[in-house]
Amino acid sequence: MAAPPPPPPDPQFVLRGTQSAVHALHFCGGAQGQGCPLLLSGSQRGLVHIWSLQTRRAVAILDGHRGQCVTWLQTLPQGHQLLSQGRDLKLCLWDLAEGRNTVVDSVHLESVGFCRGSILAGGQQHWTLAVPGRGSDEVQILEMPSKTSVCTLKPEADAKPGMPMCLELWQANSSSRPLLLAGYEDGSVALWDVSERKVCSRVACHTEPVTGLDFDSQKARGVSGSAEKALAVWSLDEQQALQVCGTHKLTNPGISDIKIRPDHKILATAGWDHRVRVFHWRTMKPLAVLAFHSASVHCVAFAADGLLAAGSKDQRISVWSLYPRT
Amino acid sequence: MAVFDTPEEAFGVLRPICVQLTKTQTVETVEQLQAQLQAVSDSALQQLQQYILFPLRFALKTPGPKRERLIQSVVECLTFVLSSTCVKEQELLQELFSELSACLYSPNSQKPATVSEELKLAVIQGLSTLMHSAYGDIIVTFYEPSMLPRLGFAVSLLLGLAEQEKSKQIKIAALKCLQVLLLQCECDDHPRSLDELEQKQLGDLFAAFLPGISTALTRVITGDFKQGHTIVVCSLKIFYRTVGFIMADEQLRSISTVQEKPAVEHRVAKLMVHREADWVKNTGDKLTILLKKIIEGVSVHPHWKVRLELVELVEALLLKCTQSLVESAGPLLQALVGLLNDESPDIQARCHKVLRHFADQKVVVGNRAFADILAEHLHSLATSLPRLMNSQDDQGKFSTLSLLLGYLKLLGPKVSFVLNSVAHLQRLSKALIQVLELDVADIKIVEERRWNSDHLSTSPKTSASRPWSQFQRRYFRFFTDERVFLLLCQVCQLLGFYGNLYLLVDHFLELYHESVVYRKQAAMVLNELVVGAAGLEVENLHEKHIKTSPEELSKIVTSILEEYTSQENWHLVTCVEAEEMGEELTMQQSGLQAITSGSSTCQVTSFPAFSKPSPTICSMNSNIWQICIQLEGIGHFAHALGADFRLLLTSALYPVLEKAGDQTLLISQAATSAMMDICLACGYDSLQHLINQNSDYLVNGISLNLRHLSLHPHTPKVLEVMLQNSDASLLPLVADVVQDVLATLDQFYDKRAASFVGVLHALLAALAQWFPDTGDLGQPQAQSVGEKGSHLSPRPAALEKGLEKSTTAEDIEQFLLNYLKEKDVADGNVSGFDNEEEEQSDPPTVDENDTVPDVEPPRPVQIQIAADVMERCIHLLSDKNLKIRLKVLRTLGGKCGDFLRSRFCKDVLPKLAGSLVTQATVSARAGPVYSHTLAFKLQLAVLQGLGPLCEELDLGEGDLNKVADACLIYLSAKQPVKLQEAARRVFFHLMKVDPDSTWFLLNELYCPEQLTPPHPSLHPVQLRGAVGQQNPYIANVLLLLQELQ
């Protein structure tokens, strides 16, 4: 008789107090010993909460999006700078060093859509930012911090992929050419060569708009989710052609966000069915269904040390410690 | 006042007597002489010294049998002269010394002559005075080798007296005299200190006496305790001063290997000792034997001054004779260490001073030999510790542990090296674990219950600086003396302070895991280790020692805390929870909870794998203690970490608060005191403050535990306590967690409703308190209710009251009314046409009143919560369990009186009253076992619930009378005490509602005083309960009437 699988775990702890739905999560610090680890959360009401994972309390609240939903949060690798994207059509750059929390710069956005931005930052001063562009199907590439527009990626006229829904800038180890993965409204995922401004490859993964994607540049494999009942795993060959490797059925439809853990071992999805699902990244074997939230889960995030956070419409952020690395 | 100042005058007076004395030696003459001498000035006496001494010495020297009385008076007279004059001639000194010594010498035997005690005393005093009167340098020349035989004679004489005499006075005098003779006198008459050469010569001389002195004194010192402490103290002093002088490293260093030829005759030369290496070695060995004897005898001497002198001995010898007495170092250190924890604070202080002195001088740490000796002793003590702990009595254990403590103190930082040896650590820990075993057979521990579930009101200010000093009395199997326990704590603290904390914590955590038998003891040790590591209770003798850093300590504490609060160590079976333990829970418990029955005093019962386990009293006691110890530990940890403990509150506060609400008195006490420790450490003013400031952590725990309610059945209770200690600022948090609570309640209506009702009650009470006024938010609703009420019901009184009440309550009442009536309608239970029509028009009224048209108007959060709660309460009203129903009634009763009042009076009250009346006859006749029956518990529950209900529902007179009549019977002394108490409570509540009728009713039962009318024209009132009449109600009625006044 096979032993029954162990019961799904409980969250390690739950953060309360955003007082509105949580739409964006991002971990920073901790692993490299940059002081105590923090979790950043963006809420429907436009506030960014900075949580100390040590005290499990908000240490600061940033108000920079005039009450409009914060959809994307990202810190820059150099230091204490935070990017926040809000539905007030503004992307704010915050200085968080030494307890400051002031907006030092902002970028005006042209698209009202749900598409989150993406950055590509090496160790240098300069970094590249991808955001949805003026035209409904365009992606704009900016050189930061100078905010100079590098180019606009517009699909060919006959492609009609719809709006970009999610972006992922990356760079292959072998080359210095920035590449962009974009999930589109028509369910397709496209690989753009940013410097040549052309689509290298495009593959239809879903029948519904792509709502989230993440890419593992080591394995040259990515995963995407959409409003439908399946995840798509696709890969990139040497000729930079995208191929769908397989799809994985879900119990309930609707994925809001999808993230691969930094160690490329597992991935987590944020489900409209209030649940977070965890898969083995290599085999795509379902590992756990994390049931805690009482409304749809909007976003998931992994910390460098493997901690998982999920933000939900029920205004809570659950933090989980799964398969901790020893 | 001297009358004769000049020698001439004095001579004139004294001459006749001296002449007469020379001729006829009688006591009278001597006394006459002495009387005359009183009148002579000192200077004159000095001039005439030889002249006066002559007849006296003559009297002593006269051959033939002498009368003792005469000799005594002669000696006394002689002493008098010597005390007022100086002896300036070497010869005179020597002669007088011999003559006086000879007085006690019986030529026939070696022993002192059998003379009267008075004479002995006189001679001893004479000798002492003589030595004092020796002038200047002649005292040094007195101690020349040629004097050796005569000195030796005197010394042995005095030793003999000190040892063999019965009279305490003589013994002391002999010892004092010996001190003088050995130049150890403490009086001020010896201004000149000896130079190095003189010291050496004296040392050479005295060395000859060392064997005699040391053995004789050892016999005195180790003699009967009854001989009095002064003698022992004095002997000890002479012993160590003599040994310290003769064996001083400083002197011995300069001794050449070849003996100088002394300029004395051969006979004397043979007696002289040459202190070369061999002699030192031999003497050292012999002294070690004597010292061991002395230490053995004196360290347990009942008088503290004796033990104090032993400390002096150790200090003197260890400082002066480190090399010559190296063999004795072990026993000497042991003696010192053993006295470190003496019961006398003076000795403790002195020991610490000595140790500090040693540490400063690097006597131990700087001296490898000493450190090795200590380590070796610690090793052997650790080896024998388990056996000693088993076999010794409390006093023995106390001194053994004192010794252990002392070694640890002396070794200081070297402790961690010693404990790096696995064998050492294991032996030591085994002994600690063994001796700390608790006696868990006491039934009271399980039985004692926390009855009142009142608010946590204690503030930490009431407790002392070391908050856990009044810890709960524990009973240990192997000792009863509280001091032994304190010593054990100190030992553990010291280990934590000096030892390698990681290693120790690891080791004891391992033991903690290893067996239930060790668990409690290991936890006690761990608690103290942490306190010690923080350096809080430890006096550091070694200044350079670096203690554990706060970061490390914090890490270690976190891991221990995790262990303590883990499911299998925290949720133990402590009582047979008849009510709360559902079947499914019990099944899980058999697997999950450690039902401990390992204690060897108890019978170990083994359960068949799948049968329902029935924990024994012992195992439950053991569990209770384990939880208490762990709670105490958490308090200790907070104390040790101070404000750093705040970070651990995320994981520690919830479990502690959970235990604060435990039914078992001991656990609840321990948890409360742990919380106070936390308050003190983290800087919270009160428990309320602590809870309020950390509600987010609690909510986190509550919400997560509600997911596994069967494992955490007490979760609702924690929320209850949290709600009682929170304020309106926490509404968002509360709203959040209430959703979880209600969702969980919906799953568990059948099994755990009772515990939830408490929460709901607390919640509503809190909401009503937080949002008391009718302003702001609630305004529109209040109006709507008001309008509605006016055409809904013909009850103006209720309406008025409703308007006065808070919005929340009003709204709830309305909601409830609507809901119930709708439910009635839905059930087809249509009571009247009029009502029904208005019912249906109600809900729209509410909607119309809302102002914002397009968005669904959100109700204020608190009202939404209340409404949600009410919905559940209604469901629970029909619960099968009477206790739950009563609780629900109370919950509702507080907030929506009118409706409930009518329902209550019509349906509930008659049944309750009826059952009370019928049961009363049973309980009045019942024996002590009755209090364990279900019937009793029901009676108690009803009585406890009735009072508050009467008050909250504001019952009318008729119903109040029903209640009073039903409860009256329970005021009888024949009823069980608990029921009487509960009945009295009912009457307290009745008094608040209607004092007059209650007074009348009580006086009808028993009237303590004759009522006199205020005016003679009025008839005297005669109540039924006449004065003096014996009836079983008197006691309770008197109590209640007292309250009424």
Of B696, B703, B708, the CB nearest to A57: B696
Taking CB atoms and an 8 Å cutoff, what residues of chain A touch B647?
A: 54-55
pLDDT at B780 over 50: no
CB of B390 less than 8 A from some CB of A: no
Instruction: Work out the average pLDDT over B84-112.
Output: 77
pLDDT score recorded for residue B777: 40
CB of B707 less than 8 A from some CB of A: yes
Regarding predicted confidence, which is higher, B77 or B602?
B77
pLDDT at A275 over 90: yes
CB of A56 less than 8 A from some CB of B: yes
pLDDT score recorded for residue A259: 95
Instruction: Work out the average pLDDT over A234-254.
Output: 90
Q: Distance between CA B705 and CA B757 in Å, rounded?
A: 18
Query: Are B915 and B938 in contact, with CB atoms under 8 Å apart?
Result: yes
Contacts 24+ apart (CB under 8 A), B9-12: B9/B44, B10/B40, B10/B41, B10/B44, B10/B45, B10/B47, B10/B48, B11/B48, B11/B51
pLDDT at B456 over 60: no
Cβ contact A55–B733 (<8 Å): no
pLDDT at B801 over 50: no
Contacting B residues, span 118-137, partner chain A, CB-CB under 8 Å: none
CB of A54 less than 8 A from some CB of B: yes
Cβ contact A13–B700 (<8 Å): yes
CB of B1021 less than 8 A from some CB of A: no
CB of A315 less than 8 A from some CB of B: yes
CB of B887 less than 8 A from some CB of A: no
Taking CB atoms and an 8 Å cutoff, what residues of chain A touch B739?
A: 294
Cβ contact B700–A16 (<8 Å): yes
Instruction: Work out the average pLDDT over B368-385.
Output: 78
Q: What angle do helix axes B501-514 and B422-435 make, rounded to 10 degrees? A: 50
- Taking residue B850's Cβ as centre, other Cβ atoms within 10 Å add up to 15
pLDDT-derived band at B863, boundaries 50, 70, 90: confident
Q: Which DSSP helix (H) or strand (E) runs through B132?
A: helix B117-133
pLDDT score recorded for residue B585: 39
pLDDT score recorded for residue B880: 56
Cβ contact B650–A55 (<8 Å): yes
pLDDT score recorded for residue B264: 66
Among the listed residues B560, B570, B550, the one whose alpha carbon sits nearest the alpha carbon of residue B528: B560
pLDDT score recorded for residue A309: 95
Cβ contact B733–A16 (<8 Å): yes
Cβ contact B732–A316 (<8 Å): no
Of A13, A19, A54, the CB nearest to B732: A19
CB of B700 less than 8 A from some CB of A: yes
Instruction: Work out the average pLDDT over B126-137.
Output: 83
Regarding predicted confidence, which is higher, B579 or B407?
B407
- Taking residue B314's Cβ as centre, other Cβ atoms within 10 Å add up to 26
pLDDT-derived band at B580, boundaries 50, 70, 90: very low
Q: Distance between CA B790 and CA B772 in Å, rounded?
A: 23
Top-ranked range on mean pLDDT: pick from B313-327, B593-607, B841-855:
B313-327
pLDDT-wise least confident of A107-121, B60-74, B548-562, B702-716: B60-74
Q: Which residue of B has its CA nearest to A293?
A: B740
Nearest-Cα distance to chain A for B528, in Å, is 27
Instruction: Work out the average pLDDT over B495-523.
Output: 91
Query: To the nearest whole number, what is the mean pLDDT of chain B?
Result: 76
pLDDT at A1 over 50: no
Of B647, B697, B704, the CB nearest to A54: B647
pLDDT score recorded for residue B503: 92
Contacting B residues, span 515-554, partner chain A, CB-CB under 8 Å: none
Report ipTM (2 d.p.): 0.86
pLDDT digits (tens, 9 = 90+) for B612-658: 445 677 888 888 889 999 999 999 999 999 989 998 998 899 999 98
Nearest-Cα distance to chain A for B744, in Å, is 13
Instruction: Work out the average pLDDT over B222-236.
Output: 88
**Residue A159 is encoded by which pair of tokens?**
């492609």
* Cα distances (angstroms) measured from residue A254 to each of A269, A273, B72: 10, 7, 122
Q: Distance between CA A261 and CA A266 in Å, rounded?
A: 6
pLDDT-derived band at B509, boundaries 50, 70, 90: very high
Contacts 24+ apart (CB under 8 A), B282-286: B283/B210, B283/B211, B283/B247, B283/B324, B284/B247, B284/B324, B284/B325, B284/B326, B284/B327, B284/B328, B285/B327, B286/B211, B286/B214
pLDDT score recorded for residue B840: 36
pLDDT score recorded for residue B638: 93
Taking CB atoms and an 8 Å cutoff, what residues of chain B touch A324?
A: none
Q: Which residue of A has its CA nearest to B651?
A: A13
CB of A11 less than 8 A from some CB of B: yes
Instruction: Work out the average pLDDT over B5-10.
Output: 80
The pTM of the full predicted model, rounded to 2 decimals, is 0.68
A12, A13, A57: which to substitute to probe chain B, counting the most B Cβ within 10 Å?
A13
Angle at A19 between CA A14 and CA A24, to 5 degrees: 70
Instruction: Work out the average pLDDT over A227-234.
Output: 92
Regarding predicted confidence, which is higher, A315 or B184?
A315
Regarding predicted confidence, which is higher, B895 or B434?
B434
CB of A295 less than 8 A from some CB of B: no
pLDDT-wise least confident of B70-84, B329-343, B485-499, B747-761: B747-761
Cβ contact A11–B646 (<8 Å): no
Query: Are B618 and B441 in contact, with CB atoms under 8 Å apart?
Result: yes
Q: What is the CA radius of gyration of chain B?
A: 45
Regarding predicted confidence, which is higher, B699 or B362?
B699
Cβ contact B736–A316 (<8 Å): yes
Query: Are A206 and A187 in contact, with CB atoms under 8 Å apart?
Result: yes
Q: Which residue of A has its CA nearest to B740?
A: A294
Cβ contact A17–B739 (<8 Å): no
Q: How many residues are listed for chain B in this entry?
A: 1045
Regarding predicted confidence, which is higher, B794 or B281?
B281
pLDDT digits (tens, 9 = 90+) for B256-277: 766 666 666 777 777 788 888 8
User: How many CB contacts within 8 angstroms connect chain A with chain B?
Assistant: 34
pLDDT score recorded for residue A118: 93
pLDDT score recorded for residue B215: 92
pLDDT score recorded for residue B63: 63
Cβ contact A316–B646 (<8 Å): no
Regarding predicted confidence, which is higher, A32 or B301?
B301
Cβ contact B707–A10 (<8 Å): yes
Cβ contact A56–B699 (<8 Å): no
Of A17, A292, A294, the CB nearest to B732: A17
CB of A36 less than 8 A from some CB of B: no
CB of A59 less than 8 A from some CB of B: no
CB of B643 less than 8 A from some CB of A: no
Cβ contact B707–A315 (<8 Å): no
pLDDT at B121 over 70: yes
pLDDT at B571 over 50: yes
pLDDT-derived band at A48, boundaries 50, 70, 90: very high
Q: What percent of chain B has pLDDT over 70?
A: 76
Contacting B residues, span 22-81, partner chain A, CB-CB under 8 Å: none
- Taking residue B727's Cβ as centre, other Cβ atoms within 10 Å add up to 12
CB of A16 less than 8 A from some CB of B: yes
Contacting B residues, span 710-749, partner chain A, CB-CB under 8 Å: 732-733, 736, 739, 743
Q: Cis ω on the peptide bond leading into residue A145 (within 30° of 0)?
A: yes
Instruction: Work out the average pLDDT over B844-871.
Output: 57
Of B647, B704, B707, the CB nearest to A55: B647
Query: Are B145 and B272 in contact, with CB atoms under 8 Å apart?
Result: yes
pLDDT score recorded for residue B385: 83
Q: Distance between CA A88 and CA A65 in Å, rounded?
A: 6
Cβ contact A14–B733 (<8 Å): no
pLDDT-derived band at A30, boundaries 50, 70, 90: low
Nearest-Cα distance to chain B for A54, in Å, is 7
pLDDT-wise least confident of B235-249, B694-708, B752-766: B752-766
Regarding predicted confidence, which is higher, B597 or B7?
B7
pLDDT score recorded for residue B757: 76
pLDDT-wise least confident of A55-64, B367-376, B558-567, B790-799: B790-799
pLDDT score recorded for residue B586: 38
pLDDT score recorded for residue A277: 94
Q: What is the maximum span of chain B, computed from C-alpha positions, in angstroms?
A: 148
pLDDT score recorded for residue B564: 93
pLDDT-derived band at A21, boundaries 50, 70, 90: very high
Cβ-proximal residues to B278 (8 Å cutoff; 6+ apart), any chain: none
pLDDT digits (tens, 9 = 90+) for B974-1005: 888 888 888 888 888 888 888 888 888 888 77
pLDDT at A77 over 70: yes
* Cα distances (angstroms) measured from residue B799 to each of A1, B844, B875, B895: 68, 21, 26, 14
pLDDT at B329 over 70: yes
A12, A14, A15, A274: which to substitute to probe chain B, counting the most B Cβ within 10 Å?
A14
